[in-house]
């Protein structure tokens, strides 16, 4: 098992009083910034904040293990939940909202809209949106769990940090297409950092029922050019002619298809 | 929360309002001569210097609502009247708030939403006192062609035969454009955001978004068709004008029971929708939409209503498919009925 850490990771880990496991790219934000030409500034809003607005490829991540399944710090029940999942039960087959972080790693593009008060992300996937306030307001107390939970954001220097709780547990949402599971105890911490050319996106899964320690991925969202004769976000109509569900077959060996 | 039964809900409160409207005293001659257009204009000619976004757009941002007691089309009882009086409006609101408890469902009727469980269709008449959301034609009635009405009637009679006879809302596909802006029994909230080159409208129901480019680009080619068409915006002075074309021919112009006989009227690929958003004061956007579809209507028609700012409104996550069992149950009910009828022969 290979564990990557960074200055940022250690700082973040202090917040959660647990070491931080990195899966995927080992480079911390600061290292990536170092390879950029110093002269090229990051885009900024008229108010001086880094500008995340634009049309981006949210890097498709169907399997958050990214080839390092052994590195995922499962609890025994988290491991069992993953081993026992059945791909035919993928909740998104029902056109349910994919949850956080799954919505952030779809194969379809997203439009980021930033105002002084909020970061709004419009997704082609599921034709849906996240509206994240940037005033750091607290989470509601005793909220009704929601597919997309409750997200609250704030600025830490030039980074937007988004904290999400209130997410539904199984069977409503999965972490990813590969079937990594989470509980209703899931807490997601996302950090958005604008570089001159991209958005660096770091997200941490904190779910003590399923994972012994928080674990973190870093992805890069790259700007997309508009395809001629197509809109930014093509209408994704999940329910239109959705006949899949009765035809999905089990992926669990030894089980008959129901 | 899941609101699938909503589109099927026949508004008891709306019926009560129409009944109440019958009972109010006739308006004086002066009110009768008012055109609704004049009433709408009155509210939009106030001197309001709009604040601007950092990129210079008149600022429409915020959370807006449009729940209202005002009916979509003008009830027969109010024929010939573009507006009601202030006193009549208060009277109707009073009667609506005193609506008695809903009768319990009949045996065999699974029931639906009612005023005790939950509905949030508004408790006030529009401030313009117009007698219908439809303001053009001046009779407040949508000029639907008979063939389009017949198609709607056929669909309604066959809802137990196929999901395709249900509206796009019941199918959780979309509330539609402009149907998504028409008031319904609940979840009447919209968040408008602006960023350079775009206006964005987030709708509480059914957790939908519209990304409207305002950079002057042309419409999509005619071969690209979508349920919600293709919207392009531009500013005419302080008014945002949004032009929508490129619809597919599978949608409907209105999806809520609150739109009465217009709910479920089909649209053709020729549908052309022009919306106008003008902020007329800090807390009001004047919203108008003109709908043209020559296959469906004998003339273009227009809806106008204020959108009211409500910063305290909390937009909830509308999860249309959560526990969405009604469609399957309706179709299964249809098959059971067929079996029972066959057995009875």
Among candidate residues B198, B228, B173, B270, the one with its CA nearest the CA of residue A234: B228
* Cβ neighbours of A231 in B, within 8 Å: 211, 213, 220, 224, 230
| A221 pLDDT higher than 60 | yes
Nearest to B227 among A111, A230, A237 (CB): A237
Closest residue of A to B317, CA-based? Answer: A146
Distance (Å) from the alpha carbon of B217 to chain A's nearest alpha carbon: 10
The residues, ordered by sequence, that sit 6+ positions from B34 with a Cβ below 8 Å of its Cβ are B82, B83
| A198 pLDDT higher than 80 | yes
Cβ of A129 within 8 Å of Cβ of B209? The answer is yes
The pTM of the full predicted model, rounded to 2 decimals, is: 0.85
Dihedral angle sign, alpha carbons of residues A53, B50, B86, B38:
negative
Query: What is the model's pLDDT at position A20?
Result: 58
Task: Please tell me which residue, A167 or B345, carries the higher pLDDT value.
Answer: A167
Q: Please classify residue A1 by burial: count the beta carbons closer than 10 Å to its beta carbon, then call 0-12 exposed, 13-18 middle and 19+ buried.
A: exposed
| Regions of chain B with pLDDT less than 70 | 1-46, 99-102, 111-118
Query: What is the model's pLDDT at position B115?
Result: 60
Cβ contacts below 8 Å, chain A against chain B, sum to 82
Query: What is the model's pLDDT at position B147?
Result: 98
Average pLDDT value for residue range A222-250? 92
Task: Please tell me which residue, B307 or A11, carries the higher pLDDT value.
Answer: B307
Distance (Å) from the alpha carbon of A214 to chain B's nearest alpha carbon: 27
Cβ of B193 within 8 Å of Cβ of A46? The answer is no
Distance (Å) from the alpha carbon of A36 to chain B's nearest alpha carbon: 26
Provide the β-strand partners of residue B198. Answer: B195, B213
Distance (Å) from the alpha carbon of A6 to chain B's nearest alpha carbon: 35
Query: What is the model's pLDDT at position B13?
Result: 38
pLDDT in tens, A82-138: 999 999 999 999 999 999 999 999 999 999 999 999 999 999 999 999 999 999 999
Query: What is the model's pLDDT at position A131?
Result: 95
What is residue B100's three-state secondary structure?
Answer: coil
Task: Please tell me which residue, A197 or B7, carries the higher pLDDT value.
Answer: A197
Cβ of B227 within 8 Å of Cβ of A235? The answer is yes
Distance (Å) from the alpha carbon of A120 to chain B's nearest alpha carbon: 9
Closest residue of A to B205, CA-based? Answer: A128
Query: What is the model's pLDDT at position A26?
Result: 44
Q: Rounded CA gap, A217 and A175, in Å?
A: 12
Among candidate residues A56, A223, A228, A178, the one with its CA nearest the CA of residue A125: A56
Q: Would you place residue A38 in the very low, low, confident or very high pLDDT band (cuts 50, 70, 90)? A: low
Q: Rounded CA gap, B2 and B186, in Å?
A: 12
Q: Which two tokens mark A152? A: 């609250």
Q: Which two tokens mark A52? A: 């995340």
Query: What is the model's pLDDT at position B117?
Result: 61
pLDDT in tens, B213-229: 999 999 999 999 999 99
**A-proximal residues of B, 303-332, CB under 8 Å:** 315-317, 319-322
Q: What is the CA radius of gyration of chain A?
A: 19
The residues, ordered by sequence, that sit 6+ positions from A72 with a Cβ below 8 Å of its Cβ are A23, A64, A65, A78, A180, A211, A215
Q: Would you place residue A30 in the very low, low, confident or very high pLDDT band (cuts 50, 70, 90)? A: very low
Nearest to A129 among B195, B202, B221 (CB): B202
Q: Rounded CA gap, B255 and B263, in Å?
A: 5
Q: Which two tokens mark B40? A: 């709408």
Task: Please tell me which residue, A258 or B241, carries the higher pLDDT value.
Answer: B241
Q: State ipTM.
A: 0.84
Among B209, B214, B221, most A C-beta atoms within 10 A, so best to mutate, is: B209
| A4 pLDDT higher than 50 | no
Closest residue of A to B209, CA-based? Answer: A128
Q: Rounded CA gap, A133 and A120, in Å?
A: 8
Kindly state whether A231 is in contact with chain B, defined as any CB-CB distance less than 8 angstroms: yes
Q: Would you place residue A23 in the very low, low, confident or very high pLDDT band (cuts 50, 70, 90)? A: confident
Is the preceding omega at residue B108 within 30 degrees of 0, hence cis? no
Among candidate residues B70, B102, B65, the one with its CA nearest the CA of residue B83: B70
State the DSSP code for A67: T
**A-proximal residues of B, 247-276, CB under 8 Å:** none
The residues, ordered by sequence, that sit 6+ positions from B7 with a Cβ below 8 Å of its Cβ are B166, B167, B169, B170, B255, B256, B257, B263
Query: What is the model's pLDDT at position B325?
Result: 87
Q: Rounded CA gap, A166 and A173, in Å?
A: 12
């Amino acid at each position: 098992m290979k564990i990557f850490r960074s200055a940022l990771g250690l700082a973040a880990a202090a917040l959660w009083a647990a070491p931080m496991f990195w899966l995927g790219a080992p480079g911390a934000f600061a290292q990536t910034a170092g390879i950029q030409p110093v002269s090229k500034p990051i885009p900024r809003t008229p108010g001086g904040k880094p500008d995340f607005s634009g049309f981006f490829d949210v890097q498709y991540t169907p399997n958050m293990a990214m080839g390092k399944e052994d590195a995922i710090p499962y609890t025994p029940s988290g491991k069992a939940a993953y081993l026992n999942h059945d791909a035919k039960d993928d909740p998104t087959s029902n056109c349910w909202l994919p949850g956080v972080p799954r919505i952030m790693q779809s194969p379809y593009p997203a439009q980021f809209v930033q105002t002084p008060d909020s970061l709004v992300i419009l997704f082609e996937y599921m034709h849906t949106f996240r509206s994240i306030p940037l005033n750091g307001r607290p989470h509601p107390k005793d909220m009704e769990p929601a597919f997309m939970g409750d997200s609250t954001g704030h600025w830490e220097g030039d980074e937007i940090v988004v904290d999400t709780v209130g997410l539904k547990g199984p069977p409503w949402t999965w972490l990813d297409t590969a079937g990594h599971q989470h509980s209703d105890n899931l807490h997601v911490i996302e950090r958005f950092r604008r570089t001159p050319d991209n958005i660096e996106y770091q997200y941490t899964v904190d779910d003590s029922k399923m994972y012994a320690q928080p674990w973190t991925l870093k992805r890069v969202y790259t700007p997309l050019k508009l395809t001629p004769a197509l809109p930014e976000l093509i209408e994704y109509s999940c329910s239109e002619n959705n006949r899949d569900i009765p035809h999905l077959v089990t992926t669990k060996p030894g089980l008959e298809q129901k | 929360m899941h609101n699938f039964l909503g589109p099927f809900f026949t508004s008891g409160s709306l019926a009560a309002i129409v009944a109440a409207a019958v009972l109010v005293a006739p308006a004086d001659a002066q009110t009768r001569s008012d055109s609704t257009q004049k009433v709408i204009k009155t509210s939009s000619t106030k001197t309001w210097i709009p604040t601007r976004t950092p990129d210079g757009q008149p600022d429409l941002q915020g959370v807006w609502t449009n729940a209202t007691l005002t009916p979509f089309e003008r009830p027969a009882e109010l024929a010939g009247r573009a507006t009601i009086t202030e006193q009549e409006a208060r009277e109707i609101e009073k009667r609506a708030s005193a609506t008695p408890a809903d009768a319990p469902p009949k045996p065999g009727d699974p029931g639906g939403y009612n005023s005790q469980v939950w509905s949030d269709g508004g408790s006030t008449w529009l401030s313009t006192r117009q007698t219908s959301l439809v303001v053009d034609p001046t009779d407040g009635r949508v000029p639907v062609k008979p063939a389009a009405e017949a198609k709607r009637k056929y669909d309604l009679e066959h809802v137990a035969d196929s999901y395709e006879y249900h509206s796009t809302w019941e199918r959780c596909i979309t509330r539609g454009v402009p149907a998504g802006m028409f008031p319904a029994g609940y979840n009447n909230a919209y968040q408008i955001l602006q960023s350079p080159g775009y206006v964005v409208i987030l709708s509480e129901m059914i957790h939908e978004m519209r990304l409207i480019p305002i950079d002057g680009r042309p419409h999509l080619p005619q071969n690209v068709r979508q349920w919600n068409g293709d919207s392009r915006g531009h500013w005419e002075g302080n008014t945002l004008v949004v032009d929508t074309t490129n619809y597919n021919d599978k949608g409907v112009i209105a999806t809520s029971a609150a739109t009465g006989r217009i709910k479920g009227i089909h649209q053709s690929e020729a549908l052309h929708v022009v919306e106008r958003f003008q902020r007329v004061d800090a807390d009001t956007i004047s919203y108008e939409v003109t709908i043209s579809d020559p296959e469906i209507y004998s003339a273009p028609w227009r809806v106008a209503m204020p959108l009211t700012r409500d910063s305290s409104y909390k937009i909830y996550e509308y999860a249309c498919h959560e526990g969405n069992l009604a469609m399957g149950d309706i179709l299964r009910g249809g098959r059971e009925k067929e079996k029972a009828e066959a057995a009875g022969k």
